[in-house]
Amino acid sequence: MEKKQPTAVALLSGGLDSTLAILVLLKQNIRVKAITFLTQFGCDITDSSSCSKNPFPAARKFGFEVKLCHLSDKFMEIVKNPKFGHGKNMNPCIDCRILMLKEAKVYMDLIGADFLVTGEVLGQRPMSQRRECFPMIDREAGVEGLVLRPLSAKLMPPTIPELRGLVDRERLYDFKGRTRKPQMALAEELGLDDYPSPAGGCLLTEPTYSTRLRDLLKHNPDPDIRDIHLLRVGRHFRLSPTTKLVVGRNRSENERILSMAHKDDTLLRVPGVGSPVSMLTGVASQTDILVAASITARYSDAKNLSTVRVLIYNIKEDLYNVEVEPAEDSVLEGYRIQYVEKKRRKRKRQRRAVEV
């Protein structure tokens, strides 16, 4: 009787490591069905970070299938309340990996595949790729023994597919640590010449983005997708618990802000000069509007004038003008949503204690 070709479900981000893991298995004549997960936070195929390159060109070139799966509200819940905590910023890395493996297991069972594959490398990521983490993550996801990590497999106990003879362990690898030189050499050997720079990563690991997200969730525990997308655009100012101001930094961001504006949003700009487009979201009072106008004037080409005329409008019509003084730096800093490094905050507290 002809031996059945083994089938693996691979978690594919489109980055170097996950693509290599697939190619290693294809070299062993294993059928691969890849699954690429999408989230609200930019880890999707439209981005250029290392965790999110479009997977379809590689799939076409090397001959494997890709299924897209949006994690949606499930992912939002672990961002807000991760069982295993956040990393340095808002990244719930361990919970994220558990969720993805659970979803991949559902797909594995659906298509009758034999095991799961990831591109994880031992010691590459400090939170989720430690030696002691892999067994715990697999156990929590209900996939013990079923997850093959080809790039570091020789450094870990054999998995079920290896023990069953579905995979030749001798043709797997022993990569470890944060260097990508072994992967880049393997990519050249396997003919993979189009992959993103390994310097990028998940938006939830970025301090500025994470600070904005914390602020958003604090004031709006159930944000919509527009609120999430706005976190990536412009300068952000919290004017009140119900009101936030987003100020464009260039023409491209001005256009993006306008494209995301709702009918209830208040828009601001300085007519006749180079000016940002600013958008007030939430319930804005007249005081909020005046502060927003002052901040808008500060970032316009009229910032050196004593008073500036700012147009208040919405996506339907111009409403009225206000005359304001451009905001001083102290005002900007008082409202700006910004990341402050913990060490800097500690030093400031120490200086204040000395001064007192």
- The CATH number linked to 28 is 3.40.50.620
Q: Is 236 helix (H, G, I), strand (E, B) or coil?
A: strand
Whether residues 191 and 50 share a domain: the answer is: yes
Q: Does any domain span residue 105?
A: yes
Whether residues 186 and 320 share a domain: the answer is: no
Per-residue pLDDT averaged across 206-227, rounded? Answer: 95
How is residue 225 written in tokens? 């997708």
Whether residues 179 and 211 share a domain: the answer is: no
Whether residues 160 and 258 share a domain: the answer is: no
pTM equals 0.86
* Number of domains the chain is built from: 2
Average pLDDT, the chain: 90
pLDDT of res. 162? 97
Domain that holds residue 80: 7-202
How is residue 228 written in tokens? 């999430």
Name the pLDDT band for 8 (thresholds 50, 70, 90): very high
pLDDT of res. 226? 94
pLDDT of res. 4? 85
**CB 103 within 8 Å of CB 37:** yes
Q: Of 204, 232, 203, 199, which Cα lies nearest the Cα of 15?
A: 199
Whether residues 152 and 268 share a domain: the answer is: no
Whether residues 293 and 320 share a domain: the answer is: yes
Q: Does any domain span residue 244?
A: yes
185 or 202, higher pLDDT: 185
Residue 330 burial (10 A CB sphere; 0-12, 13-18, 19+):
exposed
Whether residues 146 and 285 share a domain: the answer is: no
In 51-148 the beta strands, taken as DSSP E runs, fall at 65-70, 115-117, 147-148
Per the document, the length of the chain is 356
Q: Does any domain span residue 343?
A: no
Whether residues 176 and 53 share a domain: the answer is: yes
Whether residues 12 and 128 share a domain: the answer is: yes
Q: Does any domain span residue 158?
A: yes
Whether residues 193 and 211 share a domain: the answer is: no
Name the pLDDT band for 54 (thresholds 50, 70, 90): confident
Name the pLDDT band for 51 (thresholds 50, 70, 90): low
Whether residues 184 and 256 share a domain: the answer is: no
Residue 270 burial (10 A CB sphere; 0-12, 13-18, 19+):
buried
Per-residue pLDDT averaged across 103-116, rounded? Answer: 98
**Out of 129-138, 266-275, 311-320, least confident range:** 129-138
